[in-house]
A and B are shown apart, each in its own frame.
Chain A
Amino acid sequence: MDGAFQFSLSDFSFSFLSILLEGLPFLLLGTMIAGVIDQFLPVRLMARLLPRNAYAGVLVSGLLGIIFPICECGVVPIIRRLMAKGLPPANAITYMLAAPIVNPIVAVSTFAAFRGQAPLEVTLLRLGLGYGVAVAVGIVVHNLPLGRVLRTEVIADIAQPQGLSGGGVAGGIAGRLWGALAVCVGDFLSMTVYFVLGATAAALFNTSVNQDFIAPLATNDWLATASLMTLAAMLSLCSTTDAFIAATFSMFPAVAKLAFLVFGPVISLKLVFLYSSIFKERFVFGLVIGLFVMVWLLCMRLTVIGL
């Protein structure tokens, strides 16, 4: 019991199932929306609605979560379909990273969770930093060749912009609905493979690692921030409720809690596996390291304003 690591199959199974039961409905919702997008969204409509200037498009994409709020599990299949419908990858990735944070549900839950702990400041900083890092990644991706970012089969989808299943080209409404079902089921199964792998890793950490070992790190701002970011990645919490957990780390400085809230929804064990279904492994690795360093340094800068 006193060791740093100890495994129990029944406890692991309990944690694993609870993570699956919580996240799976949202993953299913995301794949259903993806199916509808694939069959009913006209090709390049999204690209036409966004500003023509690439950088302005990235800036606007970071705010789409306000209109189309979706959590981090559901957004991954959606952006795959949006890219197949002509949305530039830089815009899609910006939406993917920003939507789990920059959305009204997360704003309300963060404000409620931090009652008595500067809720307005924490909420605004969370949304602001979440938006900032998403836009920064979007701009970097805009300047990268697609081959370094996306998996080959995803690039093939983009190359034939009607989408995998014909994109509603053929058939009437019934044909499109069958097509939407095929896309939904195909995406659900392929994404759930990665979700299962992520939930396995998260449940293993959740039940096997002694969390008391993290507590001594709280006394140093740099270590506290890095350790809570790591914890956020390991726990793989849903962005709509993670603030209620973050608010309880009373021994940790506010910047560390903020880093937990910004980093967790964009990088976690389950998300790394989900991202790998769309992006090249090397890009995912770079995304993890880049976002970790960016969020860490940005949050540490906030200590100068007394947060």
Chain B
Amino acid sequence: MTSLFQRFLTAGVLALWGNVLLIIFFTGRICAYLHSNFQPFTLVAGCLLVCFAFLVLIAPATANAHAAARSSVWSVLTSLILVAPLLLAFSSTLDSFGAGTVAKRVYVQDLAQLPSAQPAAAQSANTPQDDKYLLPKNKRGQVQAQIVDFLYAAQLPEVRVQLENKPVEVIGQLMPAKTNNPKGNRFVVIRMMMTCCAADAQPIALPVEPQKKPDLPDMTWVKVTGQAAFPVEGGQRKPLIQDAAIEKIDAPEDPYLY
């Protein structure tokens, strides 16, 4: 009885974990959790765990002798620790962070704080003559930039020339400005930058001065159009979008920057 119970309990826990991993992978939810470099490992681990669950069921009795030696109470207790938090998290997650958690993280508003994109590296990389640094324009002639482009432009004159005093368009999520908001009329648009997994994602923030204060909840996806400026504030040149119009949009397919 104990041996059979242990065998089914072990197989059940492995199958549950494997299936959770596979569901997250095959439903595409994995993109919200992991950098693309790590995603295949989830698939492999999920498949292996499901295979192991099956093998545990058909294994000869001698192969399960060690598991059977554990007490049933202990096995049930550890299985609960393995299963309960996983199921609770799986059923309660919204696959993204809310405004409260994002606000608790340090906003990256300077190129030196940008993961894997330090100023010296940027200076030794592409020049405006390279295709990578030629920012595209939309049908209305507005420069379509990412928030990261503004951080580069604040430090690199050859990038700044493409944006400064020009009409621009950028998408991101609306959040209150935590700093550099002397008149109280600014907010920021943010994009989460993922290095490895969602737990390490950091908000990259761009300050915006709107035409009128947007009546939208925090973390709403918006398209911001306005004029790019790079004023010197506190001895540092900082990016800013002035006279901005705000339009609510659907979330992009991939919400992260990498």
| A positions within 8 Å CB-CB of B | 1, 6, 8-22, 24-26, 28, 32, 112-117, 164-165, 175, 178-179, 181-186, 188-190, 192-193, 196-197, 200, 202-203, 206-212, 215, 235, 237-238, 241, 244-245, 247-251
Known contacts A15-B198, A19-B197, A237-B200; A10/B45 CB under 8 A? no
B105–A211 contact, CB under 8 A?
Answer: yes
Pairwise interchain contact A18-B85, C-beta atoms closer than 8 A: no
Complex formed: what's the CA distance from A247 to B114 in Å? 8
Partner of A182, one of B41, B64, B99, B197: B64
Knowing A28-B49, A117-B118, A248-B202 touch, does A13 contact B92 (C-beta < 8 A)? yes
Q: Kindly supply a per-residue 1/0 record for chain B positions 5-26, scoring 1 wherever the CB is within 8 Å of any chain A CB and 0 otherwise.
A: 0000010011001000100100
Least CB distance from B190 to A in Å reads: 14
Q: Which residues of A contact B92 (CB under 8 A)?
A: 9-10, 13
Contact residues in A for B178 (Cβ distance below 8 Å) = 212
Asked whether, in the complex, the Cβ of A196 is within 8 Å of the Cβ of B106, the reply is no
* Given contacts A18-B33, A182-B67, A248 and B114 within 8 Å (CB-CB): yes
Which residue of B60, B100, B118, B195 contacts A11 across the interface (Cβ within 8 Å)?
B100
Chain A residue numbers with a CB within 8 Å of B200 are 235, 237, 241, 245
CA distance A117 to B116 in the complex (A): 11
Which residues 81-114 of B have a CB within 8 angstroms of A? 81-82, 85-86, 88-90, 92-101, 103-106, 108, 110, 112-114
A sample of 12 more A-B contacts (CB under 8 A), given A113-B116, A175-B62, is A8-B100, A8-B101, A17-B90, A21-B34, A22-B33, A22-B196, A25-B44, A164-B66, A196-B81, A206-B199, A237-B196, A248-B115
User: Can you list 20 A-B pairs, Cβ within 8 angstroms, ordered by A?
Assistant: A6-B100, A8-B98, A10-B92, A10-B94, A10-B98, A11-B100, A17-B93, A20-B89, A28-B49, A32-B48, A113-B115, A181-B55, A185-B52, A200-B85, A209-B104, A210-B104, A235-B200, A241-B196, A244-B195, A250-B110
Q: Are B66 and A165 in contact (CB under 8 A)?
A: yes
Main secondary structure on chain B at its contact with chain A? helix
Q: Interface on B for A, CB 8 Å cutoff?
A: 10, 13-14, 17, 21, 24, 30, 32-34, 38, 41-42, 44-45, 48-49, 52, 55-56, 59-60, 62-67, 78, 81-82, 85-86, 88-90, 92-101, 103-106, 108, 110, 112-116, 118-121, 178, 195-200, 202
Q: Assess whether A21 is in contact with B24, with CB atoms less than 8 Å apart.
A: yes
Bound form: Cα–Cα A193–B85 in Å = 10
Chain A interface mostly: helix
B201, closest chain A residue (CB): A18
- For A183, the closest partner residue in chain B by CB is B66
With both beta carbons as reference points, the residue of chain B lying nearest to A249 in the complex is identified as B113
The minimal Cβ–Cβ distance linking B195 to chain A, given in whole angstroms, is 4
